[in-house]
Structure 1
Amino acid sequence: MRIVSGNYGGRPLKTLEGKTTRPTSDKVRGAMFNMIGPYFDGGRVLDLYAGSGGLSIEAVSRGMESAVLVERDRRAQAIIRDNIRMTKEDSKFQLLAMEAKQALAHLSGSFDLVFLDPPYSAEDIVADITELCQRQLLSQEVMVVCETDKAVSLPEEIAELGIWKEKIYGISKVTVYVR
């Protein structure tokens, strides 16, 4: 895997071996960013189930100012740290080594782009978006990008957000919520 485009474009990304994480393929990541961007003029990213960190690193590569990555798995945290070092801009990234639910209680400020790719899909996505809205962690122009199995059906509206775009890429479905 590699960073698809932007300042870090072409640089390799490490991923975790095994089934504890499901890294988003270069092809799906590229298509996802073409769907939502493809480039940004600043902003703050939250990746609540970071895995290898590829999505948030790609977002910063494409113009986001900073990213908060949340990951509970220790082996994945080590991979994320390596991938952040690869950017040579460590100060743009903050890794929270904890469960997503725990992280939501610690976060402050607002996020312009949120990635949700939880291991248990729909139930976590609804709860996470609801809590992000209740805690006022989303900017007015926020995009919440959810990656699920293509068979998962997410609600048309969650809290203050509604589906803006939805596309299927192979076995994955990408659903984007906005205000």
Structure 2
Amino acid sequence: MMKDYFIERPKFPAHDFRREFRIRRKFFEIILNPIVNHDHYSARKIDALGRQSLSPHQTLTFAFHMLANGCSTDSTYEYCQLVKTTAIENLKRFCQAIQAIYGATYLRKTNREDLKRLLHKADKKGFPGMIGSLDCMHWEWKNCPTAWASQFKGRHNKPTIVLKAVASYDTWIWHAFFGAP
């Protein structure tokens, strides 16, 4: 994995990293250090047998892979070398660290000042009264239960789930809804 993406001359280019993990490698590196500093679970250690534990890159890569692709712990074992219990613990700790580090800024409830700022910004661009833009994404539901498949048929006759979201210019999500197509 390190040879694939994280050395000076990686095997795969940056756009492959972004496609695989839904994040730029530069942004990945920016998030890595605060996560390791906040929770030493991700830091590289020596285990009881004298072997090095997983690298911070492995633990964070696994968390992003699971969140970006919605895959199970079993499907990423070969690549990231995490067993199921370690993978679940890693994902929980990653989410807790993100909430602790960035929660006060990005995961808080909005206030009047935020709303005024967004309305002012939209007004300057010629859209008075608008706080954000609506976007809909159609996602193919690969593991849809067979009994439900006909209820969720979307484009190309495959089960689909739709995410509707209203996001402001600063990517603040004001409303999100998962539903049938």
State TM-score, norm by structure 1.
0.27
Between structure 1 and structure 2, the one with the greater Rg is 2
Structure with more of its chain in strand, by fraction? 1
Q: What TM-score results when the alignment is normalised by the length of structure 2? A: 0.27
Q: Pick 1 or 2: higher relative contact order, CA cutoff 8 A, min separation 6.
A: 1
